[in-house]
Structure 1
């Protein structure tokens, strides 16, 4: 036993023990130094690492503003929906997309194949955010949330909904999946309708729950937008345009109705249209707002402007008679559809005499006629503020031949839009006061610029009433018990090469009631049939909606009565003058 004690004492050496203690103390010292360094000298790195793992910046969405008509009826609203997104890194860390019933149920709810869902997640192993579905209904989102799948999250968002469906669709346009306007009013007024999203900095635990709100930048609310259009007038205008285009076997059309005393657009229709709530079957061409984007030669609708210019320059008097025999200019025969040796100024408009306005145009410097066209609104954008509006085309020539001057007087050689044509006739309806147009509601009075003496415009407008009377070219535009001043017109369509082709554009423009004009509208139709006859306004006037009367102060309509090719508004107690629509439609093969 003594021997074993001696052996144990021999195995214990103070040096080894000392070295071990020193090593332990050194390690502890290094740890203390490191802790001190991290806690006292350089704590920022730890804080940064912590923030990277727990801090998240979340957007504060702002709901897109509502679009309503002039009476407050909703035309475009935002409805709550949800988006499904996945954190691929979290999902893969917890076993990935499995083939259990919960994963299969979610894939089925999102209309995805389970293998496709797994591939989308596995293709982004280091991503922390990936959309799986957008704009699903709240009930579907709630059901997915109850599945409690790893890495699957929901996010609130909104989707645009158009309560009236196809009504005013070409004017309103639509938004993309991110609620940004990409067509029509939605695009033109996108900044006003979207507001400014806010941001919120939060701290989350490892389960994704918010445990602390750090900072918040509040969202700037979006503004609602009240348009000048009236949904009921818009519906009637679209119905009349639809019937006219179909009846004439046309391809497309456009219509505009303007409130004369304010310049407000009361309706703006296009054909074909589409349903913005379901655009799957719509063609790209269906989205066009033809009233502002498509151009055509205005044809005979400019003849009232020619008469006004001639009266202003003293070339003729209201009771003058003009020689309307056919004649030849530069090898081209200028003639009318019927044979009229001479016509009064009223007769020139009633019979739509090309020879009559040609003589008037040749008797004056061409610049005077150009100035009148421009003053009334041709050759420049209306300033309505809608994306895609065309300014039309006003010819810029150093030399005008005799034939050019003659044809310019019956609407050839310049290009206009349906909106510009409506604007011109609104100026006629206001007896020569040009007012800026507005697509948003405004209150009168609206100041304008006088571009033609009132006496002259009043005289010519009175002459225009003969067009809708028996013997005129726009008898189908007549409204029983109301005075209307209209003008029909046609022109050949211009092909891609700049040459005329065997397709026609027909249109009607006017103001009503002529005794106290309140509204103006216009219509056009493009035809391909060579046998198309312009006499008696068979097409252009046929698409003229007939608006009889309404309660003028608040424009509240008592009832809707079918009348002629369109509709009329009448108040049983007060038949105040209300509107005359000018529709524009076209047709091609």
Structure 2
């Protein structure tokens, strides 16, 4: 008998399970299959189709292409002494969105940067929606490292270069300056920007999310430094010329002045000093007048320093020679509506006497005897009214009117240096023709590997005669006697010119000039000095500019080891 029977209990059987419908089962499988398909498809898209994009995005957050700064070329004097060099500096920048809002950290950052906390917070607020702002540019590496040592999030460093000028104000107007991005803005820095500027390099680096360098991966392009520039300037002569010019401007309470010294044989500019000046290494409170290189950019009526050049044209005409005598009595003459005067009645004067006494009457009578425009023609051959072609930004051509329908007074005025305008550099270049056997040397601000051949503009015999005539103008007892240099023979001419304004010539406002050559026996140096508006009581060129010429030229001859003349008069 079975167990169920023996117990007398009939067991309950579980209800049979309902079989899953085929439709629902198929739907579940379909959904699972679709999910797996979508997942697999997405994986395939990420790994195959979108891989370059995603890899690029990832690299952009870790790989960087950094710029390698290239230093600017050095500017040196003719002897290799540095006049402009680039020094390494560090620029600090920040991501405003990463900078901490903690006031203590902000205060530490402000103090390290040397700024007020309020000013820093104001700048951060202004750039708050951006990812870049400068904190401080061109810091010394030591000062920048003190800021970086604070380890403040969002603060980064960038290596750059800054221009430094060892000679400071002595060469400021000639060299010019660069801006905060180390690009030339003035002077030779601007003129030779393509040559001096380096070519930055590039490298691929790995950085963390805070922009810190993890690994240097690959050099893409090497940085190429800028080319060096060798000037014709002799730093020793430049310092000396600047010192003497500054002392003279101060002594005579003048508005400013210029000294230009040229090598008579090559045309190279050995010194070019300007007053007022400025310190290019610290440009705070710059006097705008000190920014211009007056020797090249500014022009003026030259006055009596043009008389030797006009006399060269007169002698070349064949009508007159050095022994010609002119009666300048009674010391004045009426031409057209104008009266031309000498300081006093000098009576009869030969050519040397006309230059020594600086007779306007003598020069006027000589030039009015000529029919041809020989004087303006020679002026043009000497480079007046034309660009000096030095490449200096803003160099002036001056003004030399064409001799068309000139009145007699205009012919007379141009013979004693009025009615035209020149720069000090043009004047110095013109005087090289007298010093160099009639050959004018074009000016050069760069050291020349080979001297220029020059341009013959005056007959050699006339240039020799004129040099001797000019020597007599600086002998003891003459107006130019203060230009003399002990041990050397000097030739030159002084000039005193009334300055002009919009209403005409000004009363008691002058420019004092002296242009000279030394040594006469074997000319080596041409020097031009211009003092603008001296107020110290003296204003004649022989009293104000000639002493500067004497000191500058004498010191230069000795520094250059030029032997004394064999015969000193």
Same fold (TM over 0.5): yes
User: Residue in 1 aligned with 2:6?
Assistant: none
Matched, 1:376 2:382: yes
Q: Distance in 1 between matches of 2:261 and 2:178?
A: 26
- Relative to structure 1, the CA distance from residue 139 to residue 571 in structure 2 (aligned partners, 3 Å threshold; closer, same or farther) is closer
Q: Is the 2:517–2:525 Cα contact (8 Å) retained in structure 1? A: yes
Q: In the TM superposition, what is the alpha-carbon distance from 1:523 to its structure 2 partner?
A: 1.1
Q: In the TM superposition, what is the alpha-carbon distance from 1:76 to its structure 2 partner?
A: 1.2
Matched, 1:274 2:300: no
Q: Is the 2:207–2:214 Cα contact (8 Å) retained in structure 1? A: yes
Q: Is the 1:382–1:436 Cα contact (8 Å) retained in structure 2? A: yes
Q: Is the 2:73–2:229 Cα contact (8 Å) retained in structure 1? A: yes
User: Residue in 1 aligned with 2:462?
Assistant: 456
Aligned to 1:334, the other structure's residue is in SS state strand
Q: Distance in 2 between matches of 1:183 and 1:98?
A: 44
Matched, 1:478 2:466: no
Q: In the TM superposition, what is the alpha-carbon distance from 1:569 to its structure 2 partner?
A: 5.2
Matched, 1:319 2:344: no
CA displacement, residues 466-495 of structure 1 (integer Å, 9 cap, x when unaligned) = 111123221110112211001001211111
Aligned to 1:306, the other structure's residue is in SS state helix
User: Residue in 2 aligned with 1:308?
Assistant: 312
- Relative to structure 1, the CA distance from residue 568 to residue 122 in structure 2 (aligned partners, 3 Å threshold; closer, same or farther) is closer
User: Residue in 2 aligned with 1:137?
Assistant: 140
User: Residue in 1 aligned with 2:291?
Assistant: 287
**For structure 1, which segment, 442-451 or 377-386, has the greater mean C-alpha deviation from structure 2 after superposition?**
442-451
- Relative to structure 1, the CA distance from residue 362 to residue 210 in structure 2 (aligned partners, 3 Å threshold; closer, same or farther) is farther
Matched, 1:47 2:55: yes
User: Residue in 2 aligned with 1:570?
Assistant: 558
Q: Is the 1:518–1:577 Cα contact (8 Å) retained in structure 2? A: no
| 1:515 alignment partner, one of 521, 525, 528 | 521
Q: Distance in 1 between matches of 2:74 and 2:535?
A: 44
User: Residue in 2 aligned with 1:263?
Assistant: 267
Q: In the TM superposition, what is the alpha-carbon distance from 1:171 to its structure 2 partner?
A: 1.1
User: Residue in 2 aligned with 1:216?
Assistant: 220
| 2:41 alignment partner, one of 14, 24, 33 | 33
- TM-score, normalised relative to structure 2: 0.91
Q: Distance in 2 between matches of 1:368 and 1:249?
A: 39
Unpaired stretches in structure 1, ≥5 consecutive residues: 550-566, 579-589
Matched, 1:539 2:552: no
Aligned to 1:176, the other structure's residue is in SS state coil
- Relative to structure 1, the CA distance from residue 17 to residue 542 in structure 2 (aligned partners, 3 Å threshold; closer, same or farther) is same
CA radius of gyration, larger in: 2
Q: In the TM superposition, what is the alpha-carbon distance from 1:27 to its structure 2 partner?
A: 1.5
Q: Is the 2:512–2:539 Cα contact (8 Å) retained in structure 1? A: no
- Relative to structure 1, the CA distance from residue 530 to residue 73 in structure 2 (aligned partners, 3 Å threshold; closer, same or farther) is closer
User: Residue in 1 aligned with 2:81?
Assistant: 73
Unpaired stretches in structure 2, ≥5 consecutive residues: 1-10
Q: Is the 1:173–1:182 Cα contact (8 Å) retained in structure 2? A: yes
Q: In the TM superposition, what is the alpha-carbon distance from 1:41 to its structure 2 partner?
A: 3.9
- Relative to structure 1, the CA distance from residue 18 to residue 449 in structure 2 (aligned partners, 3 Å threshold; closer, same or farther) is same
CA displacement, residues 118-170 of structure 1 (integer Å, 9 cap, x when unaligned) = 34334334533221110111111111111111111011111111122222112
| 2:354 alignment partner, one of 337, 348, 363 | 348
Q: Distance in 1 between matches of 2:534 and 2:80?
A: 41
Aligned to 1:273, the other structure's residue is in SS state coil
Segments of 4+ moved more than 6 angstroms: 2-5, 10-15
**For structure 1, which segment, 419-428 or 509-518, has the greater mean C-alpha deviation from structure 2 after superposition?**
419-428
Q: Is the 2:387–2:396 Cα contact (8 Å) retained in structure 1? A: yes
Q: In the TM superposition, what is the alpha-carbon distance from 1:5 to its structure 2 partner?
A: 6.2
Q: Is the 2:252–2:538 Cα contact (8 Å) retained in structure 1? A: no
Q: Distance in 2 between matches of 1:38 and 1:529?
A: 85
- TM-score, normalised relative to structure 1: 0.88
Q: Distance in 2 between matches of 1:575 and 1:171?
A: 26
- Relative to structure 1, the CA distance from residue 90 to residue 143 in structure 2 (aligned partners, 3 Å threshold; closer, same or farther) is same
- Number of positions where the alignment pairs a residue of Structure 1 with one of Structure 2: 551
| 1:169 alignment partner, one of 167, 172, 175 | 172
CA displacement, residues 250-289 of structure 1 (integer Å, 9 cap, x when unaligned) = 0111110001111111000000111111111221221111
| 1:114 alignment partner, one of 113, 117, 125 | 117
CA displacement, residues 39-85 of structure 1 (integer Å, 9 cap, x when unaligned) = 33453332343344334332221101111111111111111111001
| 1:465 alignment partner, one of 460, 463, 471 | 471
- Relative to structure 1, the CA distance from residue 116 to residue 21 in structure 2 (aligned partners, 3 Å threshold; closer, same or farther) is farther
Q: Is the 2:314–2:374 Cα contact (8 Å) retained in structure 1? A: no
- Relative to structure 1, the CA distance from residue 292 to residue 445 in structure 2 (aligned partners, 3 Å threshold; closer, same or farther) is closer
Q: Is the 1:205–1:211 Cα contact (8 Å) retained in structure 2? A: no
User: Residue in 2 aligned with 1:298?
Assistant: 302
| 1:399 alignment partner, one of 391, 400, 405 | 405
Matched, 1:385 2:391: yes
Q: Distance in 2 between matches of 1:112 and 1:395?
A: 57
User: Residue in 2 aligned with 1:500?
Assistant: 505
Q: In the TM superposition, what is the alpha-carbon distance from 1:4 to its structure 2 partner?
A: 11
User: Residue in 2 aligned with 1:432?
Assistant: 438
User: Residue in 2 aligned with 1:97?
Assistant: 101
User: Residue in 2 aligned with 1:555?
Assistant: none
Q: Distance in 1 between matches of 2:539 and 2:271?
A: 29
User: Residue in 2 aligned with 1:411?
Assistant: 417
CA displacement, residues 167-186 of structure 1 (integer Å, 9 cap, x when unaligned) = 21121111111111111121
